[in-house]
């Protein structure tokens, strides 16, 4: 049985639902209280098919600027990068546009 790993980084400003998205993708229950991600949180979903064992690693990256330097190293190693923003906060959209320009030079 082959084992494939897909590393998925989820990034964006704080309070944009990154942890909820990762939790939903990995089957975690929705948390009713907000808790700030400190640095990086890893959530894993295993998918087993006939001849494949796929591991989806969701890297929930903190949205606070003080964690920016450690987040860059995770982004370099990911296969997929998902940006999250809040439809109620236009600045969170501007933030991901700025992050996109910074991160596209990381690879």
List pLDDT tens digits, range 55-77.
Answer: 999 998 877 666 666 777 777 78
- φ, ψ of residue 105 in degrees (nearest 5): -90, -5
Determine the Cα–Cα distance for residues 43 and 26; give it in Å rounded to an integer.
7
Q: Which residues of the chain have pLDDT under 70?
A: 1-2, 30-31, 34-36, 38-39, 64-69, 106-107
Determine the Cα–Cα distance for residues 76 and 92; give it in Å rounded to an integer.
22
pTM for this structure? Answer: 0.81
Beta strands, E only, 22-64: 40-48, 52-61
Q: Which of 97, 74, 71, 73 is nearest to 84 (CA)?
A: 97
Kindly state the DSSP code that residue 17 receives in the 8-state scheme: S
């Amino acid at each position: 049985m082959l084992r494939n790993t897909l590393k998925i980084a989820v990034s964006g400003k704080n309070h944009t639902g990154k942890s909820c998205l990762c939790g939903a993708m990995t089957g975690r229950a929705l948390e009713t209280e907000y808790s700030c991600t400190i640095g990086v949180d890893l959530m894993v979903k295993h998918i087993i098919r006939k001849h494949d064992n796929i591991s989806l690693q969701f890297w929930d990256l903190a949205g606070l600027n003080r964690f920016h330097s450690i987040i860059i190293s995770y982004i370099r190693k990911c296969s997929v990068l998902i940006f999250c923003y809040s439809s109620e906060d236009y600045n969170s959209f501007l933030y991901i546009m700025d992050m996109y320009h910074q991160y596209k030079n990381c690879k």
